[in-house]
Amino acid sequence: MSEPRLTATPKLRVSGLGKSYGSTPALKPTDLDVPKGEFLTLLGPSGSGKTTLLQMICGLTEPTTGRVFIDDVDQTYTPVHRRDLGLVFQHYGLFPHLTVAENIAFPLKMRGQAPTDLARQVTTALDMVQMGSLGTRFPRELSGGQQQRVALARCFVYRPSVILMDEPLGALDKKLREHMQLEIKRLHRETGATVVYVTHDQEEALAMSDRICLMNHAAVEQVGTPQDIYARPRTAFAADFIGLSNIFRGRVTRASDGSAMLDTPQGLLCMDGLEGPASGTAALVVRPEQIAIGGDGQNSVAGTVAEMIYAGSETRMIVALRAGERAIVRLRPGLRVPDLGEAVAIGWRTADAVVIP
C-alpha cells in the first residue's frame, strides 16, 4: 500500500524503498511522502518494518531497492553525517565526560560554528527545553527525563532539515512519558521541524502525530490522521491495533427488504448505508464508546456481563456473547453499572460502525 503523491514537493520522500535479508523482507517496497513541518509517526508492532524504514532514511541501513529524497535531492547513498538529519534514540547517547552545555554544543563544534554564535545557540537550546540553569551539570547528575531533554536540545540546536526519533521515550515511566510527549509537541510547534517518529505505543501516536503511518508485516497498512485511522480503519489489523475495537465477522447477505446485512454468530447485523463489499465475508467494527446498554440503535446483541474494569476516567464492561465472543463497552457516566453475571442487551447505530472487507 502506498501513500498518494502530494501536489507540493515533500520535504522527505521515499520511493519504492525496501530492504530484504536473503528471501526475508524487512521492508517491502514502500512509497511515502512527508510534507515540510509535519509530525509523522511510524507505528506498528515489533517486526513491522518501522525501524528499518527509519534507518534507511537516515543512512544507517542500505536499501535493497528504492530511493530516499530530501528536498527532492536523492540522498539514498549519501553518508549519514551529510544528510542534514537530527537523530534521537531511546538511549540518550550523551557524553558522560561533558557537561550538559558541552553535549549540546558538540554538533555545532563539529560543523565549525563560531564560538560566539555557539554560546548563544546553546543558551537558546537550553531555554527551549527549560533547562537554562543546568548547563554546568554532567549527565550522571540528571534524571532520565532531564537527560532526554538534553538529547532533544542537542538535536534541535543545529536546526536539521529532518528530525528522526526512534522510540525516544521508551525507557521512561508512564507519567514522565506523557510529560515528554507534551515537550516534544511543543518543540515541534515552536521550531516547525519535520519529524519522523517511531513508536509501538498507539496512545503515543494518537496524541502526538499530524499523521500516522501504520505498519504491519514489513509493509504500510494505512496512512492518515489519527482521527481518520481511529474512526475509519481500512483493515481489521488497523481496527484492532489502534484503540479498542469490537469486531464482528460474518458473511454479507441481503434482508427481505433488500438492506445489506452481515450474518454473524450474534445474528444478522445491519450494515446498510456503510461502505463495504456487496458479497463475500466482511467484518463490522464498532468502538466501545459507540455501544450503549439497552439495545438502542439499529443493531442489538445479547450477552452476559463477564467483567468490569475500572480505569479511573472510565469503566469498561466486558460482555460475553454467543460462540465465545466478547464485546467491550465503555460505560457512560451516570448510568447504572450492571452486576457481574447480569443479562444485558447492547446496541449501536449503523452510522457508528465501519465495514471492512
pLDDT for the residue numbered 7? 41
Q: Residue 133 belongs to what domain range?
A: 12-236
Boundary-marking domain end, from 190, 217, 236: 236
pLDDT range class, residue 111, cuts 50, 70, 90: confident
SS (H, E, C) the chain: CCCCCCCCCCCEEEEEEEEEECCEEEEEEEEEEECCCCEEEEECCCCCCHHHHHHHHHCCCCCCEEEEEECCEECCCCCHHHCCEEEEECCCCCCCCCCHHHHHHHHHHHCCCCHHHHHHHHHHHHHHCCCCCCCCCCHHHCCHHHHHHHHHHHHHCCCCCEEEEECCCCCCCHHHHHHHHHHHHHHHHHHCCEEEEEECCHHHHHHHCCEEEEEECCEEEEEECHHHHHHCCCCHHHHHHCCCCEEEEEEEEECCCCCEEEEECCEEEECCCCCCCCCCEEEEEECHHHCEECCCCCEEEEEEEEEEEECCCCEEEEEECHHHCEEEEECCCCCCCCCCCCEEEEEECHHHEEEEC
Assess whether 278 and 150 both reside in one domain: no
CATH number of the domain encompassing residue 211: 3.40.50.300
Assess whether 261 and 283 both reside in one domain: yes
Assess whether 73 and 168 both reside in one domain: yes
Assess whether 206 and 296 both reside in one domain: no
Assess whether 208 and 256 both reside in one domain: no
Boundary-marking domain end, from 236, 262, 292: 236
Assess whether 262 and 226 both reside in one domain: no
pLDDT for the residue numbered 333? 80
CATH number of the domain encompassing residue 291: 2.40.50.140
Higher pLDDT, 354 or 298: 354
**Rounded distance, CA 212 to CA 194, Å?**
14
Q: What percent of the chain has pLDDT over 70?
A: 97
pLDDT for the residue numbered 311? 80
pLDDT for residue 41 is more than 60? yes
Confirm whether 49 is domain-assigned. yes
Assess whether 184 and 263 both reside in one domain: no
Assess whether 273 and 220 both reside in one domain: no
Assess whether 126 and 271 both reside in one domain: no
pLDDT range class, residue 8, cuts 50, 70, 90: low
Confirm whether 74 is domain-assigned. yes
pLDDT for the residue numbered 175? 84
Reported as a single tens digit per residue, the pLDDT across 205-221 is: 999 999 999 999 999 99
Confirm whether 5 is domain-assigned. no
Confirm whether 2 is domain-assigned. no
Question: Full-prediction pTM beyond 0.95?
Answer: no
Assess whether 217 and 328 both reside in one domain: no
pLDDT range class, residue 35, cuts 50, 70, 90: very high
Assess whether 183 and 307 both reside in one domain: no
Number of independent structural domains in the chain: 2
pLDDT for the residue numbered 6? 40
Confirm whether 3 is domain-assigned. no
Confirm whether 342 is domain-assigned. yes
Assess whether 179 and 209 both reside in one domain: yes
Boundary-marking domain end, from 218, 236, 254: 236
Comparing 28-32, 87-91, 184-188, the range with the smallest average pLDDT is 87-91
Q: What percent of the chain has pLDDT over 90?
A: 62
Confirm whether 119 is domain-assigned. yes
> Which residue's C-alpha cell is 496512545?
203
Confirm whether 315 is domain-assigned. yes
pLDDT for the residue numbered 242? 92
**Rounded distance, CA 154 to CA 147, Å?**
11
Most confident segment among 90-94, 194-198, 329-333:
194-198
